[in-house]
A and B are shown apart, each in its own frame.
Chain A
Amino acid sequence: EAQVTQNPRYLITVTGKKLTVTCSQNMNHEYMSWYRQDPGLGLRQIYYSMNVEVTDKGDVPEGYKVSRKEKRNFPLILESPSPNQTSLYFCASSLSWDGRDTQYFGPGTRLTVL
């Protein structure tokens, strides 16, 4: 089954404790992206990757890192989480970076930073 998976689905952590949210897709997609969803703000792009070893900042990259060492994986790293990073996070992938390609989203990761 074609899908985007994220782990963990739920995470409660404390300020400053490094964490990684994994994202994996099995559709051989080139383009992958991370979003955060906050009430009243919709989905905002954090980072995106057009292919292996090619990543770039989205609209809200501060406090986040990403890497794309393999085509299928695109982990999101929070080196020193803070309470303002409490949010619902979505990973997405699409065939290419063309905006016409449908983005397929993972089920989401709800992160709480205390």
Chain B
Amino acid sequence: DQQVKQNSPSLRVQEGRISILNCDYTNSMFDYFLWYKKYPAEGPTFLISISSIKDKNEDGRFTVFLNKSAKHLSLHIVPSQPGDSAVYFCAASVRETSGSRLTFGEGTQLTVNP
């Protein structure tokens, strides 16, 4: 049962345009959401996060939007740059008695063409 889903395996955009990566979740108990970026032959690195009590968080060219009623979040990258080409993972966290559990989506391969 995939609780966090990224339905688009890949996305291609032109340099300078907006990239929008989407993520849907099913568990209403998730209280924190994160995006990680992964380059080939490297481990994922943290990009941006948002608490469930907010609907938007911005950090430079990256903005994450959260729509709790739709159980949907998205990552906007504006303007996109070739160096943004990577796999992006959406992740969600829920607090349990034994600690927080992090559930990842399948990932979306973003390619930004020069």
Binding site for B on A (CB under 8 A): 4, 31, 33, 35, 40-45, 48, 50, 56, 58-59, 90, 92, 97-100, 102-108
Contacts and interface: CB of A to CB of B under 8 A. Distances in A.
Nearest to A40: B106
Interface of B: 4, 6, 9, 31-32, 36, 41-46, 49, 51, 89, 91, 93-95, 98-107
21 contacts: A31-B99, A40-B9, A42-B4, A42-B89, A42-B105, A43-B44, A50-B98, A58-B101, A92-B43, A99-B93, A99-B100, A99-B101, A100-B49, A100-B51, A100-B100, A103-B46, A103-B102, A104-B43, A105-B36, A107-B41, A107-B42
Given A42-B105, A43-B89, A97 B44 contact: no
Main secondary structure of the interface of B (DSSP, over half): strand
Q: Which 9 A-B pairs have the closest CB atoms?
A: A99-B93, A105-B43, A99-B100, A97-B99, A43-B104, A42-B106, A102-B46, A42-B104, A105-B44
B100 A98 contact: yes
A44 B104 contact: yes
Contacts of B41: 107-108
Contacts of B91: 43
A106 B100 CA distance: 20
Nearest to A92: B43
Contacts of B105: 42
Contacts of A105: 36, 43-45
A90 B44 CA distance: 9
Contacts of B101: 45, 58, 99
Nearest to A35: B104
A104 B102 CA distance: 13
Contacts of B31: 99
